Amino acid sequence: MNVRADFPGLPQDWHYLDTAATAQKPQAVIDAIARNYGEDYATVHRGVYRRSSDMTLRYEAARKAAADFIGAASPDECVFVRGATEAVNLVADSWGQANLGDGDRIMLSVLEHHSNIVPWQMLAERVGATIDVAPLTEDGHIDLDWVEANLTERHKLVALCHLSNSLGSVLDARRAADLAHKVGAKLLLDGCQSAPRLAIDVQAMDCDFYVFSGHKLYGPTGIGVLWAKGDILNAMPPWQGGGSMIDKVSFEGTTYAPAPGRFEAGTPHIVGAAGLHAAIDYVNAIGVDAIERHERRLAAKAREALGQVNSVSLFGPNDGVGIVSFAVEGVHPHDVATILDEEGVAIRAGHHCCQPLMEALNVPATARASFGVYSDESDVEALVRGVERVRKIFG
């Protein structure tokens, strides 16, 4: 796979290994953003003039592209949001507030991103619910056997990461859905890392909610998607009030638009949706299956090479997708990242918004290399050279 030239943010002497945090943007996305902020720009869902009508069609075409990308039954099941964080908060504050009460339970796992922990904690505090936390298997997967043994009819929601942003481990999503539904619970999947790396079919997985962010999918920041099964979404009360989400407003009372408009109050991120559409088209042209194979191969190559370096510890499964977390004995990950930066290698160092996971791993932080469609063997080689330099500097 040789697409590096498509990404103007990647000079040849720089090795970008922080795609799990945010992906670089192909020129096609940048061009779409510029065009839609320029000669094509107008508002949506309001103007009757030609350009506004055209922009509305493009905005809704982006919704259809997002729906098709994840196998949704209808574009109306997809709500545009600022990102996955907002999507989880929307579900917690709308569906959760309406469906959970005192004594109910929520099932999470120890490897969740803070965005899939804190909104549920806030909800639990408001309604009197309790949170249970599933442990990991020895190789870094969510322990679904433990989940099965501990789910009860008091559980109303299971919210799990589909692909770990720290370990690269992939959840058996269909089994998780079956387990949740067996006790009458709903399943929410955090798809931030899986949407750019795995072929997604929400109907086949049978989850109830799926969330992802555009900027990790080679698209712009400030745009993301909440998908929910149609009957669930249509029954959810509005979350924010304002323009566009209404049917009729009077001081005697207001009626609301059907989903998804009910959840898109105010002027939306019009150009963000256009940029997301361009990103989806770009990924589809390459093929998500090809991207998964590419990132699995690079992650495996990196794990194999780092595993041969003395004093390097690896975290997560050997078959992880696109993400490799590691530590160098006696060296703080921030120091590892600083030295690698001097070598032209950009990685993430820290807790990766997964502090409970770091506690479970018994480390303060890890160094994380994450690959993208534009990564290649030279990035792995530069990473390993940089780690060898870390060892020499710290003895």
Catalytic positions are 353
Cα within 13 Å of Cα(44), Cβ side: 24
Per the structure block, which two tokens stand in for 221?
Answer: 């920041």
Please, are residues 114 and 101 in contact by the beta-carbon 8 Å criterion? no
Q: What Rg value do the Cα atoms of the chain yield, rounded?
A: 22
Backbone dihedral region of 219: left (phi > 0), alpha (psi from -120 to 50 degrees) or beta?
beta
Per the structure block, which two tokens stand in for 133?
Answer: 């936390």
Distance CA 62, CA 68 (A): 10
Distance CA 322, CA 192 (A): 13
Distance CA 165, CA 148 (A): 24
Peptide linkage before 119 cis (omega within 30 of 0): no
DSSP 327-390: EETTB-HHHHHHHHHHTTEE-EEE-TT-HHHHHHHT-S-EEEEE--TT--HHHHHHHHHHHHHH
Q: What angle do CA 264, 97, 232 make, to 5 degrees?
A: 60
- Strands of the sheet containing 323-328, edge to edge, are 312-315, 323-328, 366-370, 348-350
Please, are residues 24 and 371 in contact by the beta-carbon 8 Å criterion? no
Could you tell me which of 265, 260, 271, 173 has the C-alpha nearest to residue 225? 260
Please, are residues 158 and 176 in contact by the beta-carbon 8 Å criterion? yes
Based on the number of CB atoms within 10 Å of its own CB, is 231 exposed (0-12), middle (13-18) or buried (19 or more)? exposed
